[in-house]
Structure 1
Amino acid sequence: MPGSALAGWLGPLLVAVFGGVLRFARLDVPRAVVFDETYYAKDAYSLLRHGVERAMQGDAKNPVADRNLIAGNLDIFRHCAEPADCAAFVAHPPLGKWMIAVGEWLFGMTPFGWRFSAALAGTLSILVLARAARRMTRSTLLGCLAGLLLALDGLHLVLSRTALLDVFLMFWVLAGFACLVVDRDRTRERLLALFEPGGPDPRPGLRPWRLAAGACLGAACSVKWSGIFFLIAFAVLSLMWDAGARRVLGARRPYRATLARDLPGGAAAMGLLPAAVLLASWAGWFASPLGWGRDWARATSSGPFYFVFDSLRSWLGYQFQVLGYHSGLREYHPYMSEPWSWPLLLRPVSFYYPPNLPPSACGASACSQAVLGVGTPALWYGALLAVLALVAWYSARRDWRAGAVLLAVAAGWLPWFYYALADDRTMYLFYLLPVVPFMVLAVVLAAGLLLGPGGAPGGRRAVGAAVTGAFALVVLVDFWWLYPVLTAETITHAEWWARMLMRSWVTVAPR
């Protein structure tokens, strides 16, 4: 890596600190249960107490229970006397809720407590992206630009300040990708050292970074099932990188050598290890008789072997129920949207908008306080152009970086088209959050093309630097303008309405 190793860490760390300040400042505002926090914050607390998600008294999405929770009254977590009556059917694996539970354990059952882990994951993802972009571009400046742009994305900010699962899915997907980028460099170095012209195809040996990638992608699947799309895509990508390395070195049959030398280890790292991580995330369910569909009495009736066999049978039955639930999810929601509209930000999600704020709250006749789950438009529209540029670049040059980013964007976006066309499933803009870091990478790679290599003419680099700097400034201003409606600042209704850039961003007419 060129440049100073100290600067390569210090720059990304400073950018991450900047993003962390944005995410942790006023983290307990709004002091309310926001959107689907009514499920995940409570499920996390149940995991903390019982090891499994258990039903509360009354409906899980109960406004009265939410108000009691904010008031510090935890009586809503009193459970039924009969375990079978308390088992709760939940539609997502437990790891994301366990991560939320860490914040609740540290800081209590408060808005700051249940949002702490999301803010931490969002902040760390800025650092991971900056370091990954630096390694891909061999430029500390471009790495810091990647971290800065992610820090300034509105959707990333909102999900980093809300106890939902998507920010954890994004973090683990990005971490897995970053580990694979390091594995690519390390493996090429090792193959280069071992390769002998005319000799046998070398084995790269133990690949700890690929194992780390498999563990991270297994963790992504343990947050939400949609992590499987990235796992499959990145497993194929890793093998293609291996074949490419052998071809560059001059191997006679690079693809056959990859299948013989790299596939077995790849199958273990990107297949068996993620499966083990997913299974381990359900440890609380396996260890408790209180989980949904657990059938504890039957599992414990005939010795340890039968316990394992029947527990796995019950667990697989539960997973099929979850699959059926997701396939049949067609409930109308006023902020649902179709995946082809997501890159254009046509229908963001209103996470929080309390009605009837008193005029004294902002000193005007009408006040607003909102959390709107929307990306920073300047960044998203710039990223859309950058992705199109990467398509042309990859078609012309077969650059591995462009191919990797395009594959990640496709893995996180295109599968939702199937669900929209085949199942007419209820979906939301924030499902695209795991793709946002790769949209930022597309922008950074496009900026690298504008700047040119280190030996490019000074005029070209000056123009590229001016265009890149101007774009970053526009994103910063756009983010600053939207910031009040991303973080529940109390402003006048006129100021709120001025920030609704499209009529489709709201469901009610202006006053």
Structure 2
Amino acid sequence: MSTPNRAPFVEVVAGQPGDAPDPTDEVAVEPVERGSRLDDWAGRMLSTRRRRLAWYWGAPILVTLFAGILRVWNLGHPHALVFDETFYVKDAWTLWSNGYESAWPENADAAFNGGDTDGFLSDPSYVVHPPLGKWLIAIGMAAFGAGDSFGWRISTAIVGTLAVVVLMLVARRLFASTLLAVVAGFLLAIDGQAIAMSRVAVLDNSVMLFTLLGFGCVLLDRSRHERILGDRVAAVRARGTEPLWGPVIWWRPWVLAAGLMFGLASGVKWSGLYFLAAFGLYLIVVDALARRRLGLGLWSSSSVLTQGPATFLTFVPPALAVYLATWTSWFLSDNAYYRQWATQAGNAWTGAFSWVPPAWQSFVHYQQSIYTFHVGLTQPHPYSANPLGWLAMTRPTGMWYASPGAGEDGCVAEPCSQAITSIANPLIWWAAVAAMLYLVYRLARYREWRVGLILMGIVAGYLPWLLYTERTVFQFYTIVFLPYLLLGLVLTIGIVLGSPTDERWRRERGIGLTFVFLIASTLLSAFWYPLWSATTVPYWFWMLHSWLPTWI
């Protein structure tokens, strides 16, 4: 923020009808006050380089610390496998111990909760998600012990805190504003779904982080690619030649990095592939538009036929290589599930592909089996949520509930409740959805590239799920596109805030609205935090959160 210009200005006053204006006919008029008192204060506070650096680094660091506290406080409670932790925590520990996901005896959760963490079998277990996310969980378990519930969840909490950092970096680059970057990070820090998903050892937080990193890489490539493309076209024109196709740019390090990040995301869950596909298309479209702005005659053909293949080779093979690398332990473990499938009678490929090594034949068969499982998953679940209702948040996921008796876990007088509910801060979520709808209109009217990029993140994270309205899916899958909803909300907040050069009434109104929204969001997060963190509360307090019949 900068100090507004409060100096009086002069206005040219026209003479009588028919008279030519006289440049000396200048009279002082009442100055129009611009900015706000807050802008003046900020200008004074940031008047030195040291203070500007303190704001530039200090504010994001404070937001990060706050986010970490909300995610780590009392993280080991409850000391019980919560929701899908029954799969991922035990799979993570057997990955660490055996190199592959191993089976457990029936009803093993109680023994595991009680400290018997080595009761797994040598038989492999059929799993339907790649290993990377479970390896991340396993690192925390190895550091703190498999019997420590804090160790089960610490990796996920760190991932959730890092996501706040990455979102601030992306927002600062996207909006060129430390203030808006801090607002974006703060909203993610206090949002309920982001908090709850950081306090339970499941996979979706890791998908969110890796796809957000990939999004940031695409953002960094955009300006670099357009600059290099423009320089090369200008160099050709300087030689007296008019290019029709334009140059092919092979070295795009940020595209390579984006491919690696989306490959890592796919190595946690296959939903990362949606981002790979969506942003692969985005890179082609953005290149085509850049070539059109440069006046190239065959701009669309060159983007698809010349630059397109180069972009594909820079983007997709690295993602595939990283994805395959996440399965390294499967290839190295002879006893992993389906590892010996191709060596069994009647399974090996014949004909043109018989030369493919058995391990790779087995791997392809496993991937086909996983795909069949995912598209055919229609098992009823009490918290299944149709994707058509995700934006309205009609069915949040209840991950854990307990009713401690008097004198247990801080319960003073029965009835008491403890819950972990993966529900977003309602004010932040619904405001972000409203901002998304506004940005769709804004993109159609103004063609702003920032709006298009943000909406592409939402498209990649949400629209593919609309193809699976009959499949068993959950509201907490929306954590993957939550950062882009928040970026859209922050962009809208920036429009409401305006500029220090705006008239005072407009600027102060924008600051006031933003302040009220942030305070209300913070108070609402404080109200909901016990239900995100399994804190003991009276039953009546728990019921106060049943705003919709489907929420509790």
Q: Same fold (TM over 0.5)?
A: yes
> Does the 8 A contact of 1:47 with 1:53 survive in 2?
yes
Find the aligned partners of 1:192 and 1:183 in 2 and give their Cα distance.
14
Residue matched to 2:78: 30
Equivalent of 2:322 in 277, 281, 290:
277
Superposed, which structure 2 residues align to 1:280-295 within 5 Å? Answer: 280-295=325-340
Residue type at the aligned position of 1:253: L
Further displaced range: 15-24 or 253-262 = 253-262
Superposed, which structure 2 residues align to 1:250-269 within 5 Å? Answer: 250-269=295-314
Find the aligned partners of 1:185 and 1:66 in 2 and give their Cα distance.
51
Superposed, which structure 2 residues align to 1:37-436 within 5 Å? Answer: 37-56=85-104, 58-59=105-106, 62=107, 65-77=108-120, 79-80=121-122, 86-109=123-146, 110-196=148-234, 197=237, 198=241, 200=243, 201-295=246-340, 298=343, 309-358=357-406, 361-420=410-469, 424-436=470-482
DSSP-derived class of the 1:371 partner: strand
Residue type at the aligned position of 2:185: G
Find the aligned partners of 1:297 and 1:352 in 2 and give their Cα distance.
41
CA deviation profile, 1:27-65 (whole Å, cap 9, x unmatched): 111111111101000101111111111112x23xx2xx2
Aligned residues: 488
Shift, 1:454, TM fit: 6.0
Residue type at the aligned position of 1:23: R
Shift, 1:450, TM fit: 1.7
Bigger Rg, structure 1 or 2 = 2
Shift, 1:8, TM fit: 4.2
Shift, 1:348, TM fit: 1.1
Residue type at the aligned position of 1:234: F
Find the aligned partners of 2:456 and 2:342 in 1 and give their Cα distance.
46
Show structure 2 runs of 5+ residues with no match: 3-48
Find the aligned partners of 1:456 and 1:159 in 2 and give their Cα distance.
40
> Does the 8 A contact of 1:55 with 1:87 survive in 2?
yes
Shift, 1:17, TM fit: 1.9
DSSP-derived class of the 1:14 partner: helix
Distance 1:454 1:183, change over 3 A: farther
Find the aligned partners of 1:411 and 1:44 in 2 and give their Cα distance.
28
Equivalent of 2:487 in 424, 441, 462:
441
Residue type at the aligned position of 1:160: S
Find the aligned partners of 1:140 and 1:249 in 2 and give their Cα distance.
32
Residue type at the aligned position of 2:73: A
> Does the 8 A contact of 2:159 with 2:198 survive in 1?
yes
> Does the 8 A contact of 1:12 with 1:144 survive in 2?
yes
Distance 1:255 1:384, change over 3 A: same
> Does the 8 A contact of 1:12 with 1:131 survive in 2?
no
Further displaced range: 10-19 or 481-490 = 10-19
Percent identity of the aligned residues? 38
Find the aligned partners of 1:147 and 1:464 in 2 and give their Cα distance.
20
Find the aligned partners of 1:239 and 1:6 in 2 and give their Cα distance.
40
> Does the 8 A contact of 1:393 with 1:399 survive in 2?
yes
Residue matched to 1:509: none
Shift, 1:229, TM fit: 1.2
Distance 1:263 1:137, change over 3 A: same
> Does the 8 A contact of 1:47 with 1:101 survive in 2?
yes
> Does the 8 A contact of 1:158 with 1:487 survive in 2?
yes
Shift, 1:101, TM fit: 1.0
> Does the 8 A contact of 1:357 with 1:368 survive in 2?
no
Shift, 1:306, TM fit: 8.4
Shift, 1:246, TM fit: 2.6
Shift, 1:191, TM fit: 2.9
The answer to whether residue 63 in structure 2 is matched with residue 15 in structure 1 is yes
Find the aligned partners of 1:231 and 1:99 in 2 and give their Cα distance.
22
Shift, 1:281, TM fit: 0.7
Find the aligned partners of 2:311 and 2:173 in 1 and give their Cα distance.
22
DSSP-derived class of the 1:336 partner: coil
Find the aligned partners of 2:100 and 2:58 in 1 and give their Cα distance.
41
Residue type at the aligned position of 1:124: L
Show structure 1 runs of 5+ residues with no match: 81-85, 507-511
> Does the 8 A contact of 1:175 with 1:213 survive in 2?
yes
Find the aligned partners of 1:205 and 1:268 in 2 and give their Cα distance.
9
> Does the 8 A contact of 2:193 with 2:422 survive in 1?
yes
Question: With structure 2 as the length reference, what TM-score do the two structures score?
Answer: 0.84
> Does the 8 A contact of 1:289 with 1:296 survive in 2?
no
> Does the 8 A contact of 2:405 with 2:414 survive in 1?
no
Find the aligned partners of 2:481 and 2:354 in 1 and give their Cα distance.
42
CA deviation profile, 1:415-471 (whole Å, cap 9, x unmatched): 222211xxx211110011101111101101111222335644343332222222221
Find the aligned partners of 1:165 and 1:233 in 2 and give their Cα distance.
21
Find the aligned partners of 1:262 and 1:162 in 2 and give their Cα distance.
43
Find the aligned partners of 1:244 and 1:180 in 2 and give their Cα distance.
16
Find the aligned partners of 1:16 and 1:252 in 2 and give their Cα distance.
48
> Does the 8 A contact of 1:54 with 1:290 survive in 2?
no
CA deviation profile, 1:297-355 (whole Å, cap 9, x unmatched): 939x9xxx989622111111111111111122111111111112122222111111124
> Does the 8 A contact of 1:359 with 1:367 survive in 2?
no
DSSP-derived class of the 2:550 partner: helix
DSSP-derived class of the 1:370 partner: strand
Find the aligned partners of 1:204 and 1:325 in 2 and give their Cα distance.
40
Between Structure 1 and Structure 2, the one with more helix by share is 1
Residue matched to 1:83: none
DSSP-derived class of the 1:368 partner: strand
Find the aligned partners of 2:355 and 2:98 in 1 and give their Cα distance.
20
